[in-house]
Chains A and B, each alone.
Chain A
Amino acid sequence: MTRAFIAGMWIHVVQFTRNPFDMAGIVVWPIVYASIAYYLLDSKDNPKLLLASSIGAAVMLMWSLVVIGSSNALENQRWLGTLELLVAAPVPFAAVIAPITVASGVVGGYALVATLAWGTLIFHVPLSIAHPLAFAVAVPSCVLAIGMLGLVMASTFVLYRAAFSLGIALQYPVWIATGLLVPLSTLPPFVGRIGWFLGPYWGFRAVREAALGSDAWRYIGMCFAISAAYAVVGSVCLFFFERVARSRGSLKLT
């Protein structure tokens, strides 16, 4: 299982960096969202807000890469006719899919570096990390929480043929509900409560608080707790959705 996970993750990290079109997206998107945030929020003249916005833009991209990258990877497996082979393999299907979603999150780690570098170099956002140790733990915990939420989503992609479209449609609702750029206080109260169930909510707060100097450890703890919950929910969903897809014989349908 561990070997399948690590080998699978490495393969998918390399795969994601092979296609120039994919790479163009990975390079451009963080810059676009970070720039929009800087140009709009610059008027507030609050360096901490700009740093928090950088992190928010980076987490947005992490989520996008996970949900789009994993849905695209699964749809490709379906189109190439290898999805049913993966389902039929003796390794649990969760151990095949989790590396795809976590690898997307790892590639999304680039988004964090690119966004912070872009903000510092072009917009002169002061890059000072208050708690480097907490920050170093918060980033992978954020990647894990987002990647494991991707696992739950990926289970529906197995069942659903238009996975890529669903992946794209899920970007903005999660960005809004987790308050990554728009504070939840400006939105109706129920939106924030939805965010509690979403990995990017806790991951963003863990990284932000570590950078700005507040207590990040409780958010890091929540990242690990919610990742474990996602692993359970994702595995159960995958089990049932895989059964449904097998019984319908729809794994090969493109």
Chain B
Amino acid sequence: MRNSLRIFFVGGVTSYRALFNWVNPWVFVPQTLGYPIFEILFFAYLGRFADVQSDKFFLVGNSFVSLAMTGFFGMGNAVGGERRSQTLATLLASPANRFALFLGRAVPSIFTGFVVAVTAFTVCSLVLHAHFAASELAHLAVAGLVGAFACTSFGLCLGALGLRGRSVSLFADTIGGTMLLISGANVPLARLPGAVRAISDLMPLTHAIQAGRILAGGGSFASAGHLLADEAIVGCCYLLLGIVMLRVFEYVGRRSAALETF
């Protein structure tokens, strides 16, 4: 246990420091912030033009999507990056706990994503003149944390795919793009066909966004609690699935000696 914690913290901090050694922070920060800010503004202005929902609808929905993306990419890239730099086989030959190993790399990215989402939310609130009470913001943060957990769990499944495929970040990008549609971030769920809504219910983020909108609109945890519980259940299911996938794909990758193919 102690060893796993050491791997989680030391490995995570080291890889995060390496990221900033690789990318100049003066470039990394505007880039990381620019994408979610422009995404929120794009959909908010599209919503204004279409006369569909308020700015707050798009603001909350897309802030949660930007939070989700870091969960998806953080875990996906943790494995994909090792494959790319040809260190995956060496890493998997070590006795280290896999979950601690990859989660340690992902958590700092997820924390960064949370800071980025909060900053983008704040900037876009000012640009769009959307105002929230302090209590609403606090409740929104709780919904965001539950959503981040579910998305990170889903990202673990994507990361496991990195043991078998080479372009997981592009795949995560595609899944993230699909979330723009099916999670209800930009299109009210009631407008989507029944089959798509059924898929949305099984995806992370959908329930968190719904809960976030209720809480941001002044609703209480009593009215949004069941949605947050659903989101947590979805997150737990993906966490279990991700752990199983990591084990199975590592086994298959070792057997087929495909860990270094790129």
Contact = CB atoms under 8 A, between A and B. Distances in A.
Contact of B35 (A22, A72, A162, A168): A168
Contacts, number: 101
Interface residues of A, number: 36
Contacts of A40: 46-47, 50, 52, 186-187
A172 B38 CA distance: 6
> Top 10 closest A-B pairs, CB basis?
A172-B38, A21-B167, A40-B50, A39-B187, A25-B174, A169-B31, A182-B45, A21-B171, A21-B170, A162-B23
Given A40-B50, A165-B31, A35 B23 contact: no
Interface of B: 22-23, 27-28, 31, 34-35, 38-39, 41-43, 45-52, 84, 165-168, 170-171, 173-174, 177-178, 180-181, 186-187, 191-192
Interface of A: 19-22, 24-25, 28-29, 32, 35-37, 39-41, 43-44, 72, 79, 160-162, 165-166, 168-169, 171-173, 175-176, 181-183, 186-187
A165 B186 CA distance: 24
Nearest to A191: B45
Contacts of B50: 40-41, 43-44
B84 to A, nearest CB: 7
17 contacts: A21-B168, A21-B171, A21-B174, A28-B174, A28-B178, A32-B178, A36-B46, A36-B180, A36-B181, A39-B187, A40-B187, A43-B51, A169-B31, A172-B42, A175-B42, A181-B46, A183-B49
Contact of B46 (A29, A32, A182): A182
Nearest to A177: B38
Given A40-B186, A165-B31, A32 B181 contact: yes
Nearest to B36: A172
